[in-house]
Amino acid sequence: MKKTIGGYTKIGCAVLAGMLISQNQTARAGWSVNVDITGKGTVTVKVTSSTGQVSTTNSTSFLTGVYPSAAINPRSGTYLKTAPLPAGANPGTYVQIKGLNNYGTSITSTNIGGDLGDNDLLLPFVVPTSACAGGSAEIVNVMTNANSLTFQIKLNLSDAGSATQLRIVETNSMTQTSQLKYAVLFIGPYDNTSDDCEGTITVHGNPEQLNVLLDGTTSTLPFNITCPTNTVLLNCSSATYDPAPVVYSTLPYTVTYNPPPTNLVFGVTNIVTATARDINGCTISCQFKAYRQGIDFDGFDAPISGADATGGNCTSPLRSFKLGNVVPVKFAMSCNGVPITSGTPPTIRIQKCSGSGQPYLGSFFIFNNEWHFNIDSTVIGTGANFAGNYAITAILPDGSEHFVVIQYKK
């Protein structure tokens, strides 16, 4: 059942708007297509970033069937006309258009908050309700004869910020006149892509003089994220990024980090991706640099008294002990001068320099504000075969490692 309202025709469940709605348009992606029976025609795609930079592609005659015809930030295929997104645009925004035989036309568009596109014809009819919106339109030919054209328009409009207008215009090349034969406006949310009946239209006239005109826009709410430009410095105990990225959204949102602060690699510059997700599932991201200070380690205490550069090596061990003696391995660690006496304990790794056996792994324990591990006969046996040089490594909670090599004699 078709119903005409204010010059537009409503088909099935399509929502119709016929009045001017005043609102601030904060993010749009616009396109206009005019295609004839051969699948050739004209196309304009326009996107404007939140900084006011504009990118437009125009194709006055596009190929049919094989190549998509025009795009901004194309996602696939080879386009006769392409244009990059304007400076400052979100990479999630794009428009793709292609023409096919028998008026066939296929359009897909997606927009992310912060970008502006233009299709002034439709802007009065849309009210953005989400920070990410999309739309697709496809003309599917059903039947063409000498006196009429029957086709189905399949649409998927994500929300009230997306709209598509279809017009059929008959052009008389002899009189240089045009007549509007049919017009329908669809406003989301609307999806008839799984229905092979709804949206089927028959227009009477000479198909060779009919042109299918499609106009579309996708409008969204503002949603922006700005990451720090300078490297974010964290001490060894920080659990948050400060300063944090700044997010602007009209809807509630959460921010996640990859990696989170507690998973940063200590002592090196990390690249962190911050992602904001609103209640509709729309996401935006940015990246920044972060540096986490390592844990302070001053060496192993007596009786070892040394580590790393002063810790010896497998051919020249730092200290010698008799098999069977208990050797205490102890040290203190701190963060910004504050002793670390709780939390994840350091790990000890003991590996004999000769041979390829599995190393011994254990955990240090805290005693008198120092971390201790006692190497006794349960760790290194007393038999002659246990004599030799051993690399003793302390693995701190920040992942840093400090070693010493000691010798056991029979």
Residues 338 and 199 in one domain: no
Cα separation, 297 vs 277, in Å, equals 40
| Omega before residue 189 within 30° of 0, cis | yes
Residues 81 and 194 in one domain: yes
Residues 86 and 203 in one domain: yes
pLDDT tens for 23-51 read 222 345 677 777 776 767 777 777 776 66
pLDDT tens for 171-193 read 877 777 778 888 899 999 999 99
- 116, 130, 188, 252, 262 from 222: Cα distances, Å: 10, 9, 19, 12, 31
Domain boundary among 265, 292, 319: 292
Sort strands 269-278 and 283-292 into parallel, antiparallel or unpaired.
antiparallel
Residues 68 and 195 in one domain: yes
Residues 311 and 395 in one domain: yes
Percentage of the chain lying above the pLDDT 70 cut: 82
Report the CATH number at residue 351: 2.60.40.1930
Sort strands 283-292 and 232-234 into parallel, antiparallel or unpaired.
parallel
Residues 272 and 140 in one domain: no
Residues 180 and 251 in one domain: no
Cα separation, 109 vs 140, in Å, equals 18
Residues 65 and 209 in one domain: yes
Residues 319 and 286 in one domain: no
CA 214-95-168 angle, to 5 degrees, is 5
The SS3 of residue 315 is coil
Residue 258 belongs to what domain range? 223-292
Report the CATH number at residue 247: 2.60.40
Domain boundary among 292, 314, 348: 292
Q: Choose the weakest-confidence range: 36-40, 66-70, 224-228, 398-402.
A: 66-70
Q: How high is the pLDDT of residue 348?
A: 97
Residues in the chain: 410
Residues 157 and 258 in one domain: no
Contact 239, 261 (CB under 8 A): yes
Q: What are the helix (H) ranges across 97-214?
A: none
pLDDT tens for 303-349 read 999 999 999 999 999 999 999 999 999 999 998 888 999 988 999 99
- 268, 270, 291, 372 from 264: Cα distances, Å: 9, 7, 8, 26
Q: Choose the weakest-confidence range: 49-58, 148-157, 381-390.
A: 49-58
Q: Tokens standing for 243? A: 């300063």
- What's the total number of domains in the chain? 3
Residue closest to 8 by CA, chosen among 16, 245, 362, 102? 16
Q: Tokens standing for 37? A: 């029976």
Cα separation, 41 vs 52, in Å, equals 29
Q: How high is the pLDDT of residue 395?
A: 96
Residues 209 and 240 in one domain: no
Query: Does an H or E element contain 244, and which?
Result: none
For residue 263, the 8-state DSSP code is G
Residues 160 and 241 in one domain: no
Cα separation, 208 vs 179, in Å, equals 14
Percentage of the chain lying above the pLDDT 90 cut: 37
Reported for 88-94, long-range contacts at CB under 8 A and 24+ positions apart, including other chains, are: 88/49, 88/50, 88/51, 88/53, 88/114, 89/47, 89/49, 89/50, 89/53, 89/55, 89/114, 89/115, 90/114, 90/115, 90/284, 92/132, 92/284, 93/29, 93/47, 93/117, 94/29
Q: How high is the pLDDT of residue 380?
A: 92
Q: Tokens standing for 63? A: 């190929």
Domain boundary among 243, 262, 292: 292
215's CB contacts (< 8 A; 6+ apart) are 30, 31, 32, 33, 119, 121, 122, 164, 165, 167
Contact 247, 270 (CB under 8 A): no
Cα separation, 240 vs 255, in Å, equals 12
Sort strands 28-35 and 210-219 into parallel, antiparallel or unpaired.
antiparallel
Place of tokens 């200590």: 266
Give the start-end residues of each E strand in 303-346: 319-322, 327-331, 333-335, 338-339
pLDDT tens for 207-256 read 888 888 888 888 788 888 899 999 999 988 788 999 999 998 889 999 99
